[in-house]
């Protein structure tokens, strides 16, 4: 079977769980991502970790402990780690080159933060022609001054799902199914 799908794990780093407090349903999100990693490995689907590089002195400063990938999601040999400096995982990185070089056309997206890096990667990947599935219960954020984390997540699931992504619960993502023509779609976008 042709492997044209990759699992993307965005900014699941120690600092995102320690320096800002625990993200909304942080443990559940980690568990969902671990399940997706196991599913991806069983289907021999590539796993790509996106790691944010903050400025000197910030919690995601590459010289800090917070910059490290979360210890519950330890990459295996053959997994790819791509480092970025902006919310856009494609900007000034080799992500698109890596995906295109591997014949990847479908992406499953997970991670942090919903309204920043998750929103941006979903929209940008869609614009670049990738078929994107957002694991709707495997991305998270923090309360903001104006909205709670559940409101932010619900809003982004709705907006992104109406145009840019297919939405699926992590437990419903079967990587073998994603290589079929329907992309494993269980919720259709409104056109």
122 is catalytic: no
C-alpha pair distances (Å), 129 with each of 104, 105, 106, 125: 11, 8, 9, 6
Distance CA 175, CA 155 (A): 26
Instruction: Count other Cβ atoms within 10 Å, centred on residue 3.
Output: 17
Contact 23, 140 (CB under 8 A): yes
Task: Point out the catalytic residue in the list 53, 59, 117, 122.
Answer: 117
Sign, CA dihedral 146-159-94-72, equals positive
Burial code (b: 16+ CB inside 10 Å, e: under 16) for 103-120 equals: ebbbbbbbbbbbbbbbbb
Distance CA 160, CA 1 (A): 29
Contact 156, 115 (CB under 8 A): yes
Joined tokens for residue 122 = 């979903």
Joined tokens for residue 49 = 């970790």
Catalytic residues: 117
């Amino acid at each position: 079977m042709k492997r044209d799908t990759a699992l993307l794990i965005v900014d699941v780093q120690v600092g995102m769980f320690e320096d800002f407090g625990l993200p909304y349903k942080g443990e559940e999100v980690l568990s969902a991502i671990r399940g997706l990693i196991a599913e991806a490995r069983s289907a021999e689907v590539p796993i790509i970790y996106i790691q944010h590089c903050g400025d000197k002195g910030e919690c995601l400063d590459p010289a800090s402990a917070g910059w490290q990938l979360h210890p519950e999601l330890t990459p295996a040999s053959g997994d790819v780690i791509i480092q970025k400096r902006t919310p856009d995982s494609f900007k000034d990185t080799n992500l698109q080159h890596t995906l295109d070089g591997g014949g990847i056309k479908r992406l499953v997206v997970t991670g942090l933060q919903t309204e920043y890096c998750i929103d941006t990667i979903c929209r940008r990947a869609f614009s670049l022609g990738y078929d994107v599935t957002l694991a709707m219960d495997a991305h998270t954020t923090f309360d903001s001054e104006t909205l709670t984390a559940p409101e932010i997540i619900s809003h982004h699931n709705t907006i992104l799902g109406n145009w840019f992504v297919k939405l699926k619960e992590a437990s419903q993502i079967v990587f073998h199914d994603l290589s079929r023509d329907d992309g494993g779609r269980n919720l259709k976008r409104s056109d």
